[in-house]
């Protein structure tokens, strides 16, 4: 496993991180979740990403149990705050009250004294940004988080947050956007702004939730046990990718992966890692074999002619519109 700096900070992260959205506490049983975490540790992954909202807070508990006993100094644990974790109007968003409640809940569930990175899971248009950043600064100064990050913030929002963080003497070091060969909306604005400010991308769904493995074929039923058959939440989240047009284009990547001597998942993960503003690609997995497969993308260099061939094959289905980096107008 190779390591990269998280943005311009001194913190090193494994360039492939493991995340537990949809899987832990929901799609997969605890035993399978623990095996995936063990596989991640075995392949050298040290960076783990979760959120208070995943599986209604259960995902943090599962990850906490799976990592228990590991050397804390050898792990980078990331979590997030914003989406609802309870029924009340203050159980959501980026108010000072919810941030203070949520970090305490996350630390309790993860069974740790601090998280390495605390991320705003979206931009909260109902809270003054000054209030949010002041609360984050207090979380950092109390030692409950070491660094601050954001997720799915636009370039303008990132710059505003970064400037306040600088004035408060805390480090806003990362952005967590969706990024894959199919979803390139950060390239036009978020990435150039982040390079200027020293912010690294920790990207999610690098294989488009499994779609870029080619296992979903146009006109066919999804394979049993896949995310597209998970009626708890997975099927809804993956549905936007399951058009025949997208699935057909992805099938045409297979000879390219073969020629490069890579599995389709490795090709997809390696693709996001070619972008030097990416600090880590967060992979998900429902079984340990997937972790072993995908982690082999670390350190892989894709040649220019291969990158060009990927662009040609996917051209009709690639999303590039920067306006797609957007947070809800109102708190959920
Ligand atoms: N900040 C945000 O708003 C946000 C949003 C989403 C995700 N995230 C983060 O990003 C992480 C990763 O997201 P993701 O799970 O969508 O990532 P992903 O790596 O694109 O997709 C993972 C899923 O693809 C399937 N898969 C993985 N490897 C495979 C392989 N080698 N062969 C066949 N199928 C394979 C598995 O699902 P099945 O086996 O069930 O098909 C697995 O759960 C999350 O856990 C979370 O930490 C953040």
Predicted local distance difference test score (pLDDT) of residue 5: 98
Cα–Cα distance for residue pair 187/320, rounded to 1 Å = 8
Of the residues 18, 54, 82, 216, only one is catalytic, namely 54
- The answer to whether the CB of 18 falls within 8 A of the CB of 40 is yes
Q: Burial, 327: exposed, middle or buried (Cβ in 10 Å; 0-12, 13-18, 19+)? A: buried
Q: Which residue owns the Cα nearest ligand 1 atom 22?
A: 284
Predicted local distance difference test score (pLDDT) of residue 315: 98
Choosing from 284, 285, 290 the residue with most ligand 1 atoms within 8 A of its CB, the one to mutate for a pocket test is 284
Ligand 1 pocket, Cβ-based, cut-off 6 angstroms = 19-23, 49, 121, 151-152, 176, 204-210, 213, 215, 226-227, 265, 282-286, 290, 293-294
Question: Residues of the chain with pLDDT > 90: what percent?
Answer: 99
Q: Span 287-314, mean pLDDT? A: 98
Distance 97 CA to ligand 1 centre (A): 31
Q: Span 24-45, mean pLDDT? A: 96
- Between the alpha carbon of residue 76 and those of residues 8, 67, 236, the distances in Å are 16, 11, 30
Compute and round to an integer the Cα radius of gyration of the chain.
19
Predicted local distance difference test score (pLDDT) of residue 12: 98
Q: Span 248-261, mean pLDDT? A: 98
Whether this model's pTM surpasses 0.75: yes
Report how far apart the first and last C-alpha atoms of the chain are (Å, whole number): 38
Buried b (16+ CB within 10 A) or exposed e, 186-220: beebbbebbeebebbbbbbbbbbbbbbbbbbeeee
Choosing from 13, 15, 18, 19 the residue with most ligand 1 atoms within 8 A of its CB, the one to mutate for a pocket test is 19
In this structure, how many other beta carbons lie within 10 angstroms of the beta carbon of residue 326? Answer: 14
Smallest Cα–Cα separation from 299: which of 263, 255, 269?
A: 269
Distance 131 CA to ligand 1 centre (A): 33
pLDDT bin (cut points 50, 70, 90) of residue 164 is very high
Q: Span 152-164, mean pLDDT? A: 98
Distance 241 CA to ligand 1 centre (A): 13
Question: Residues of the chain with pLDDT > 70: what percent?
Answer: 100
Predicted local distance difference test score (pLDDT) of residue 273: 98
Residues contacting 101, CB < 8 A, separation 6+: 90, 91
Q: Span 273-298, mean pLDDT? A: 98
Kindly report, residue by residue over 111-123, the tens digit of the pLDDT: 999 999 999 999 9
Q: Span 141-158, mean pLDDT? A: 98
Q: Span 235-243, mean pLDDT? A: 96
Q: Span 18-37, mean pLDDT? A: 96
Q: Scan for tokens 């070619």, then name that residue.
A: 274
Residue 43, CA atoms < 13 Å, CB-side half-sphere: 27
pLDDT bin (cut points 50, 70, 90) of residue 200 is very high
54 is catalytic: yes
Q: Which residue owns the Cα nearest ligand 1 atom 10?
A: 204
Distance 146 CA to ligand 1 centre (A): 26
């Amino acid at each position: 496993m190779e390591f990269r700096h998280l943005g311009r900070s001194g913190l090193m992260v494994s360039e492939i991180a493991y995340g537990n959205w949809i899987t832990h506490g929901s799609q997969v049983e605890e035993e399978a979740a623990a095996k995936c975490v063990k596989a991640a540790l075995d392949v050298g992954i040290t960076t783990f990403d979760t959120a208070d909202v995943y599986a209604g807070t259960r995902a943090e508990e599962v990850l906490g149990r799976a990592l228990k006993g590991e050397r804390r100094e050898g792990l980078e644990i990331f979590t997030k705050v914003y989406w609802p974790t309870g029924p009340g109007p203050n159980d959501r968003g980026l108010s000072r009250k919810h941030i203070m409640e949520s970090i305490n809940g996350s630390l309790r569930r993860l069974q740790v004294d601090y998280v390495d990175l605390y991320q705003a899971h979206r931009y909260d248009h109902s809270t003054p940004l000054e209030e949010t950043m002041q609360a984050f600064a207090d979380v950092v100064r109390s030692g409950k988080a070491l660094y601050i990050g954001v997720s799915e913030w636009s370039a303008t929002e990132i710059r505003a947050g970064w400037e306040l963080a600088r004035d408060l003497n805390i480090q806003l070091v990362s952005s967590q956007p969706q990024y894959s060969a199919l979803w390139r909306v950060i390239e036009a604005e978020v990435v150039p702004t982040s390079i200027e400010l020293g912010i690294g991308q920790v990207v999610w769904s690098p294989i488009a939730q499994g779609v870029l493995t080619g296992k979903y074929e146009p006109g066919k039923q999804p394979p049993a046990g896949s995310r597209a058959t998970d009626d708890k939440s997975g099927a809804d989240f993956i549905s936007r990718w399951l058009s025949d047009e997208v699935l057909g284009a992805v099938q045409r990547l297979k000879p390219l992966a073969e020629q490069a001597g890579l599995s389709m998942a490795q090709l997809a993960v390696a693709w996001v890692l070619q972008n030097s503003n990416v600090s880590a690609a967060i992979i998900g997995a429902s079984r340990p074999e997937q972790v072993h497969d995908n982690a082999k993308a670390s350190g892989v260099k894709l040649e220019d002619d291969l990158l060009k061939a990927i662009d040609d094959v996917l051209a009709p289905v690639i999303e590039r519109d920067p306006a797609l980096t957007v947070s809800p107008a109102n708190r959920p």
